[in-house]
Structure formats: structure tokens, C-alpha cells
Amino acid sequence: MVYQICRTILWTLCKLCFRCEIKYKENLPKKGPFIIASNHASFADPSVLSGITKEQIHFVARESLFTNWFTKWWAAAVGIITIKMGRFDLSAIKGTLEHLAKGEIVALFPEGSRSNDGIIKEPKGGVGFVAAKASVPVVPVFIKGTDKALPIEANFIRFAKVKVMVGKPVEPKMFLDKNGNCDYQALSQEVMDRIAKFSRDEN
């Protein structure tokens, strides 16, 4: 309930302030479980991503963003999976896999943190690892314009056009060797390459 209320408010604001446009939405699976993997340039990205489906998305976000009782309550209420940055967080991975096992949707940012200059960075291996362990597809998504709508150094939003491009799902089975082992990094790189292709096509 809290998630849907927040989603309605934030997505409405995104449409009004950023004139958000979603392209290739037909590439999104009809239902979960699946992972949404997106580039990350702004704190506005989760709000923008929430617009691609009415289903609840469980975002993975660093624990340090939620430091007081209200933000901690809110994070739990909207289903955010908090992760401790800088080390292998088993509890966060377990939580992510549990949501996927229940047929839900999880959103990850393969770069690990926001890009300071809007340029797409190399991915971590986590997306590939989680996708392979859960045997779920990864949907690559490119967000254009949030680095201008809400830059890292900004305290307030700016009226800038934002586009969201949804790519075709990447299946973990594409990266299995003859012994059935998955190349997690190669999977993550393929997802990031598809996001980067959207980036080049839009420039």
C-alpha cells in the first residue's frame, strides 16, 4: 500500500516535471520474477523506473541512505533491499533472491553507485550472480536526462526531459558453459553493453 501511494505521487511528479517518456515498454516481461538493471546518474532514477510497471519493484539501495527512524521505516514499508557498500553483503543477496523466488521484481544498478558525469561505468558482477542464482531474466534499461533533472550536486529538481528505454531481456542460460556454470561477469557486461548501446543511439 505504501509503495503504491509513493509510486503514484512520484511518477505523477516525474511526468509533470520531467515529461517522462517510456520507449519499448513491450520488452518488459508480463510478470515477474525478473531483474531490472539500469544505468544510475541521479537520485531521481528509482522514481523514474517505477513508471515502467504498476507492479511493485524492490529497489536495492545502500544502507547509508537510511540513517534515521523515519527513513528506515519508509525503506522497509516500500520494500527497499538495503545493502552495505564496500563488502560482500550476504543478507542483501539473500533478501534479493527471496523476493525473486516469490515471483517479484527487483531493480539493481550494475554500476554500483551514481555516475558523476553521466557516463556509463563498468558493471559489477552482482547482477549476473543474482540473475544466475535465481534463474531469472535481466531487463536492461537506459535512463536519459535524470543527470540534468536532478544532478548529483543539486538540492532541487530542474525541468528537463527524461526518456526511459526498455531493452529485451537477457537470459542467464546464454552464459552457461558445458558444465552448467555461469559466467557472472560476462552476463553483467552484456546487460551493460545493451544499456550503453541505447545511450549511443540516443546521442
Query: pLDDT tens-digit profile of 70-83?
Result: 999 999 999 999 98
Q: Of 188, 195, 193, whose CA–CA distance to 166 is shortest?
A: 195
As a whole-number percent, the residues of the chain with pLDDT over 90 amount to 58
CB 84 within 8 A of CB 92: yes
Q: What is the dihedral angle through the alpha carbons of 147, 151, 156, 159, rounded to the nearest 10 degrees?
A: -30
d(CA 148, CA 160): 6
Q: Which range is most confident: 26-35, 112-121, 173-182? A: 26-35
Q: How far apart are the first and last CA of the chain?
A: 38
- Could you tell me the three cell numbers for 39? 544505468
- Residue 86 pLDDT level (bands cut at 50, 70, 90): low
pLDDT tens, residue by residue, 48-62: 999 999 999 999 988
Question: Edge-to-edge strand order for the sheet containing 81-83?
Answer: 21-23, 163-166, 138-144, 34-38, 105-108, 57-62, 81-83
Domains of the chain with CATH codes: 2-202 (3.40.1130.10)
Higher pLDDT, 86 or 186: 186
Give me the half-sphere count of Cα atoms (radius 13 Å) on the Cβ side of residue 157: 19
Q: Is-above-0.85 flag for pTM? A: yes
- Residue 34 pLDDT level (bands cut at 50, 70, 90): very high
